[in-house]
Amino acid sequence: MNPSILRTDGPGRFGGYGGQFVPETLVPCLQELDEARLAAAADPSFAAELALLSADYAGRPTPLYRARRLEQAWAPRARLYLKREDLNHTGSHKINNCLGQILLAVRMGKTRIVAETGAGQHGVATATVCALAGLECVVYMGQVDVARQAPNVARMRLLGAQVVTVTAGSATLKDATSEAIRDWVTNVKGTHYIIGSTVGPHPYPTLVRDFQAVIGREARAQILAKEGRLPDRVIACVGGGSNALGIFSGFLDDPVGLFGVEAAGSGLGHSQALGRGRPGVLHGSYSYLMQDDEGQVIPAHSVAAGLDYPGVGPEHSHLKDSARADYRGVDDAAALAACAEVSRLEGIIPALESSHALAFCKEQLAKEDPHAAPLVIVNLSGRGDKDLAGLTEATP
């Protein structure tokens, strides 16, 4: 468990996980960000500005859609709802966080934004809000992801962002994140780092969760309005964990089962920091981590670029240890199959990341007592257009 040399208290701690394990150069600007975040939270005009953009620019609230054809195919007695984050402007939940952070960056007087991206969804959302705010934007993306998510690279460039290809290490999200941190250390004065998930040093895990919590607030109100009761369970995929914490946070204090789905990958490897890792420090926080006996980070693997990360947000580590949430794995093949099935049955092409949550939903329903009639919400975190090249290879 928590090695005795680490603090278990203080801000940004989730039951001993979290913290601020970064070079000293960055600590003062993390403190500045924390102050800006708290000032914004106390300022009604910030909330009003964000709500207006969320509605008129991003298209919130997103629908909670009852997927009847999936119910018929998977479990006729179940009631299955999809929280349609894919319908956000830019095609995923990532815009929720980016809108919030760009408003903070402007308030802090920053003129330049850096970000990392895996699937390219966070990169596109960042490039979008930078266009909106008129700020310079540099996005770091691993070479492997640049190749497999080409449409998003083109979108970022069209939006005016500079996309920097990272060739170091595994050339995926982990290495893009390291490179974004190095840029930030170098250009710290005028630059804000819009991290794309509930990872990194404090205050990011809290900040990103709070901007994603709109998913859970809406979903809770919507399910109560439609069904008159809370769901039995909520399912979301977990990369760094932002869409999952966004929806979980609406139900944490309720008797609702919370399921996070990590990528079990294939023979090439996996991305199950929570399922198969052990606590350690990467990219600024103490959390479950894929690492070898020497404490070297093991590269992740997943068909879904957005899940292809060896770490996970510290709050998930706490939810795991406290058994408030359950974390399971779904492999590449099952995710690809779910993507194809949901596309054909519902006319919705889910992102490969979200397809992991859908595949788990199906698997769990298949194991259930056929007389049970569970009420389930799956967070459909993004749309799959970006994955078309890989999907058409995989599905005949």
Partner 1 sequence: MSTLLTRTVNGLRDAGRTAVVPFLTAGYPDLQTSRRLLAAAAAAGCRLVEIGVPFSDPVADGPAIQLASRRALDAGMTLAGAVDLAGHAARELGLVPVLMGYLNPVLAYGPERFGAACAGAGVAGVIVPDLPLEEAAGLRALLLEHGVSLVDLVAPTTGPGRLAAYGRAATGFLYLVSTTGVTGAGVGQDIAGYAARVRTHCALPLYVGFGIGDAASAVRVAADADGVIIGSALQRLVAGAATPDAAVAAVGGFLQEVTAAVAGVHRDSG
Ligand X SMILES: Cc1ncc(COP(=O)(O)O)c(C=O)c1O
At closest approach, how far in Å is the CB of 109 from ligand X? 27
At closest approach, how far in Å is the CB of 36 from partner 1? 16
Q: Where are any strands of DSSP class E within the chain? A: 13-14, 17-21, 64-66, 79-84, 112-117, 136-142, 162-166, 191-193, 233-237, 257-265, 278-282, 284-289, 325-331, 375-380
Joined tokens for residue 120 = 């390219």
The reply on whether position 118 binds partner 1 by CB under 8 A is no
The reply on whether position 239 binds ligand X by CB under 6 A is yes
Does the annotation count 94 as an active-site position?
yes
Residue showing tokens 């190749």: 147
Site string for partner 1, 171-200 (x = CB under 8 A): ---xx--x--xx--xxxxx-----------
Is 36 or 359 the residue whose CB approaches partner 1 more closely? 36
The reply on whether position 317 binds ligand X by CB under 6 A is no
The reply on whether position 381 binds ligand X by CB under 6 A is yes
Q: HSE on the CB side for 338, CA within 13 Å?
A: 24
Q: Which of 3, 228, 267, 347 binds partner 1 (CB under 8 A)?
A: 3
At closest approach, how far in Å is the CB of 377 from partner 1? 35
CA distances from 114 to 185, 189, 240, 355 (A): 11, 12, 18, 28
- Catalytically annotated residue among 94, 174, 362, 386: 94
Joined tokens for residue 101 = 């952070």
Contacts of residue 332, Cβ cutoff 8 Å, sequence gap at least 6 = 263, 264, 265, 266, 302, 303
Task: Find, among 185, 192, 141, the residue nearest to 167 by Cα.
Answer: 141
Site string for ligand X, 243-272 (x = CB under 6 A): xx----------------------------
| DSSP-based three-state secondary structure for 189 | coil
Peptide bond into 61 cis (omega under 30): yes
The reply on whether position 6 binds partner 1 by CB under 8 A is yes
Stretch that binds ligand X, among 33-41, 271-279, 283-291, 347-355 (CB under 6 A): 347-355
Stretch that binds partner 1, among 5-13, 112-120, 142-150, 346-354 (CB under 8 A): 5-13
Does the annotation count 363 as an active-site position?
no
Does the annotation count 85 as an active-site position?
no
Q: Report the 10 Å Cβ neighbour count for 363.
A: 16
Residues annotated as catalytic are 94, 116, 381
Residues making contact with ligand X (CB under 6 A):
92, 118-119, 121-122, 197, 237-244, 306-307, 351, 353-354, 381-382
Give residues in contact with partner 1 (CB under 8 A). 3-7, 10, 19-29, 168-169, 174-175, 178, 181-182, 185-189, 279-284, 289, 291, 293-297
